[in-house]
Amino acid sequence: MLLEVRNLSHNYDVELNPNNYILKDINFKVAKGEFIGLIGHTGSGKSTLVQTLNGLIRPTEGKIMINNQDITKTKKLKEIRKKVGLVFQYPEHQLFEETIFADVAFGPKNLGLKDKEIEERVKKALKLVNLDFEEFKDRSPFRLSGGQQRRVAIAGVLAMEPEILILDEPTAGLDPKARKELIKEIIDLKDKFGLTIILISHRMEEVAQLADRVLVLEKGKLVLEGAPSYVFDHDQLLESIGLGIPQVTKIMKNLKQKLNNLEITTDIFTVEEAKEEILKLMRG
């Protein structure tokens, strides 16, 4: 198993607030190549959880095993960052170098790699996010569109060649076109390179379309886990904790109810799938 979280709990100040646990007794596993969706209402503990996986936060209790190594016991943070790359929400705000090349190369340089290896990694990372190396390498990251800036920031993490890529609200603030393009690139990353991805998103449609499995956090606890079809079938539970289900899924569920529970597939997450199901119903 690539990643295993065992009995993970975290309290930012256990001495002053012994009962104020942000995370409590979290357990889950992630296999190599899996795409995990992580959802929960604001304050549920999502960002704290992924920061423990990246070594930015040392949990109060529990273990985080990556390739059978407990990263909570190591002080070699560079080794953790090589394995787990974290792209924060609005990562473009962290761009700071004069050129795109320098920004993407920042991480590999800190790994102590030679110049030739760094250049190869930058080329590869930019290609992964569909930015031409020769066209973009000498440009300022601050003269790009918002979508392009975000792709540069993601390239900077990919250049570290992590085994696990964590994306925290990667499409937040993007216009529909840029959001669609970025989602396609995320899908390509998984399909072409078998990258293991953990995605935090408040867009249920994104999670349903992208994830192999979904984890649901509520007040620091893992309350639901399973395939998107299983998780989004628990619409009452999700709504009770301030979440929802994909809009198209909700429409199909309402349609089934109005048609007296006629045989209609409701674990549908795209407009195209809904269209096909309705056409099939009409033909039938």
* CB-based contact 170:201 (threshold 8 Å): yes
Instruction: Tell me what pLDDT residue 16 has.
Output: 85
Mean pLDDT of 89-99: 90
pLDDT-based confidence at residue 261 (cuts at 50, 70, 90): low
**How much is the mean pLDDT over the chain?**
92
| Helix 146-158 with 100-110: angle, nearest 10 deg | 20
Contacts with 54 (C-beta within 8 Å, 6 or more apart), sequence order: 80, 81, 84, 85, 86, 166
Weakest mean pLDDT among 115-129, 222-236, 244-258: 244-258
Instruction: Tell me what pLDDT residue 63 has.
Output: 96
What CA–CA distance (Å, rounded) separates 46 from 207? 14
pLDDT-based confidence at residue 178 (cuts at 50, 70, 90): confident
The predicted-structure confidence for 100-122, as pLDDT tens digits, reads as follows: 999 999 999 988 899 999 999 99
Instruction: Tell me what pLDDT residue 263 has.
Output: 81
* DSSP secondary structure code for residue 91 in this structure: G
The answer, yes or no, to whether residue 249 has pLDDT greater than 90, is yes
- CATH number for domain 3-228, candidates 3.40.50.2300, 3.40.50.970, 3.40.47.10, 3.40.50.300: 3.40.50.300
- How is residue 275 written in tokens? 């269209």
Alpha carbon distances (Å) from 83 to 55, 76, 116, 273? 10, 12, 21, 36
Instruction: Tell me what pLDDT residue 91 has.
Output: 87
The predicted-structure confidence for 191-218, as pLDDT tens digits, reads as follows: 887 889 999 999 999 999 899 999 999 9
Instruction: Tell me what pLDDT residue 204 has.
Output: 94
Mean pLDDT of 260-276: 86
Mean pLDDT of 130-138: 96
